[in-house]
Amino acid sequence: MKKYLLLIVFAFGAFASFAQEKNEEVTTYYLIRHAEKDRTDTNNRNPNLTAKGTDRAKHWATVLSQANIHMVYSTDYNRTKQTALPTAEKYNLKTNLYNPRKMYDTDFIAQTKGKNVLVVGHSNTTDAFANKILGHNKFGKISDDNNSNLYIVTVTKNNATGVLVKIDY
């Protein structure tokens, strides 16, 4: 599977290079849902990651090691910030917080334009965020037990394309 992901990342990189040759600015978003959260206390609305979730978060950093990430965004929850942390550390970046109710607004677009950006969200926001970037509903809802989706959305001046890759861990 890792070979396929590298192939997909390479393909999007080639697309970005082609667009840059045409003097187009390219923005690539890598959107993931947080890793496995601790579900032992059903009243805890802000749980941490489980050991498996922490390992998956580290795996995301490995998966994204060739993506040349410039910015990392997370919602303000323990599980999303903990999922984002290994990738942010790998690239020596801070994790920026975003409000999922204001996803892909004009400020976010301006801040991320021309960058490769990791966005960590939730089962009820990640697919919606990818769809909002694309401008149409390409991706369906994520089930609550799915922590393996990687959405790669590339935006140029006149086009937005997206692909969904399953990264099992």
pLDDT, tens only, 75-124: 999 999 999 999 999 999 999 999 999 999 999 999 999 999 999 999 99
The pairing of strands 95-97 and 71-74 is parallel
What's the whole-number mean pLDDT along residues 57-78?
Answer: 97
- pLDDT digit string (tens) for 129-167? 999 999 999 999 999 999 999 999 999 999 999 999 999
Cβ neighbours, 10 Å, residue 40 = 8
Q: What pLDDT is attached to residue 24?
A: 77
Q: What pLDDT is attached to residue 21?
A: 47
Closest CA to 68 of 101, 138, 20: 20
* Structure tokens that stand for 158 in this block: 């006149």
Residue 20 pLDDT > 70, yes or no? no
- Collect all residues with Cβ–Cβ distance below 8 Å to 44 and sequence separation of at least 6: 38
Tell me the pTM.
0.89
Residue with tokens 């609305």, as numbered in its chain: 45
Collapsed DSSP state (helix, strand, coil) of residue 113: coil
What's the whole-number mean pLDDT along residues 48-57?
Answer: 98
Q: What pLDDT is attached to residue 127?
A: 97
* Complete domains list, the chain, with CATH: 2-166 (3.40.50.1240)
